[in-house]
Chain A
């Protein structure tokens, strides 16, 4: 069970291996990877710059992970979120959930992402290929997605 904030990229297979090792009780592993889209509402995007609130970020991610563990029988979980400047196509966020059976792993991964998007203190600034930059606005549909768990 862990959360990490880092600027460097992550290797999904290596993270699963580190998280689970030689455990034989895990029957289901779900991973979600978020990546930088090269377009936003028709605008070509060159980079996303992710700012965060150090200390609160990790604390909030741990609260979200603890909530997922309280709701589902998870055997292991990991959330990695990158910060700094990321180019289109790069990986931003990784969620791994492991459980005895797939339903808990699927549902917990969805919950973790919905809560990360609405509660973890990260902000994205996008820069278009023309060099114009602006803060990404929060989306109502993310709030609606998070509410389905309450």
Chain B
């Protein structure tokens, strides 16, 4: 796989992650070098201060790939929809 190829994915943000970033969803072209959820977080943090604010404590922000909970070390694989959100507080 070439590290120069990009892949378009849909990013979704919820609750205070959404408020800090300032939008609920966006499409981005991910560089092929972004392999894991943690890589993606680092890449997003470099995009602007609002991302730096949202991911200031990256261990607090949770992620889901194609609507399934994952860990920061999880590979992105072929996921099309990647969501970031605070720890859940339903029930």
A-side residues, CB < 8 A to B, are: 34, 50-53, 55-56, 59-60, 81, 92-93, 113, 116-125, 135-138, 142
Contact = CB atoms under 8 A, between A and B. Distances in A.
Interface in B36-91: 64, 67-69, 83, 85-91
Given A120-B90, A123-B90, A135-B86, 11 more contacts: A52-B90, A53-B67, A53-B83, A53-B85, A113-B91, A118-B88, A121-B90, A135-B15, A136-B89, A137-B87, A138-B86
Contacts of A50: 90
B12 interface: yes
B89 A55 contact: no
Contacts of B85: 53, 121, 123
Contacts of A116: 90-91
A10 B67 CA distance: 27
A59 B89 CA distance: 17
A92 B90 CA distance: 9
B25 to A, nearest CB: 11
Contact of B89 (A53, A81, A113, A124): A124
Residue of A51, A59, A93 with most chain B CB atoms under a 10 A cut-off: A51
A52 B12 CA distance: 12
A53 B17 CA distance: 13
Given A92-B91, A93-B91, A116-B91, A53 B12 contact: yes
Interface string B5-29: 0000000101110000000000000
A56 B91 contact: no
Given A51-B15, A135-B15, A120 B86 contact: no
Contact of A135 (B16, B90, B91): B16
A12 B14 CA distance: 30
A123 B67 contact: no
A53 B90 contact: no
Contacts of B14: 51-53, 121, 123
A58 to B, nearest CB: 9
B12 to A, nearest CB: 7
Question: 4 closest pairs, A vs B, by CB?
Answer: A122-B90, A138-B87, A117-B91, A56-B67
A59 B68 CA distance: 8
